[in-house]
Amino acid sequence: MPDNKKEPEFTVTDRRRFTSEGEATPEPPPEQEVRPPEPPKFATPEAPKPEPPQPEERNVPPPPSAAERQAQHDAFKQSSKQLDAQIQSELGGRRAQEFEINFERFIASLYMTALVQLGLMHEQGGQPGVDLLGARQTVDTLGLLADKTRGNLTMTEDNLLQNCLYELRMAYVEVTNAIARGPQAPGTPPPPGGLNIK
């Protein structure tokens, strides 16, 4: 059976510089490199660039209009004036401004809340209770306020905030350590550095 395979074709080029008689042969033309034809280029549409991930949008209602905000502000002021007059008459002439909130009173309020949550303060006649998660959130709130108000506080406000944070963080560590140690036998002296929060 004859082999139908086709042998590859090739070309022989005589590159000798002299003939058999010793004469110089003319220089052959320089060979050009044969390249396979390039496939045709088609215009391809560019793939759309992926959009950067957007933060998850929450279903937040739109803010109130300027007219609504002004009406609410006026109503709040009017109600506050009525309450101030009532406080003055019932408390024997004490000024209502003594009860207005300011930054220092706000920090003091969070400080007292954290002490109650840590079980270091309680109502008179009541039993102390410990809410470590609540205490941690209150301390974190004070830390958040310290970060967000940096450079905008008076020296007095900043000192108060930093002192409250320091004392509450130390108290939190001591309470969590005391809970981790568990109850001790009666009459056992407290460990050095034990709870000493006023």
The DSSP line for the chain is: ----PPPPP-------SB-TTSPBPPPPPPPPPP-PPPPPP---PPPPPPPPPPPPPP-PPPPPPHHHHHHHHHHHHHHHHHHHHHHHHHTTT--GGGG---HHHHHHHHHHHHHHHTTS---TTSPP---HHHHHHHHHHHHHHHHHTTTSS-HHHHHHHHHHHHHHHHHHHHHHHHHHH----TTPPPPTT-----
Q: Is residue 151 situated within a structural domain? A: yes
pLDDT at 30: 61
pLDDT at 136: 96
Q: Is residue 93 situated within a structural domain? A: no
pLDDT at 153: 93
Q: Is residue 58 situated within a structural domain? A: no
Total count of domains within the chain: 1
Q: What is the mean pLDDT of each run of 10 residues along the chain (198 residues)?
A: 62 68 67 64 62 68 90 90 80 71 93 94 82 95 95 94 96 92 63 42
Q: Is residue 62 situated within a structural domain? A: no
Q: Is residue 42 situated within a structural domain? A: no
pLDDT at 32: 60
Q: Is residue 198 situated within a structural domain? A: yes
Q: Is residue 148 situated within a structural domain? A: yes
Supply the range of the domain harboring residue 124: 103-184+193-198
- Cut 0.85: pTM above it: no
pLDDT at 198: 36
Q: Is residue 64 situated within a structural domain? A: no
User: Could you report the per-residue pLDDT of 40-56, keeping only the tens digit for each?
Assistant: 665 555 666 666 666 56
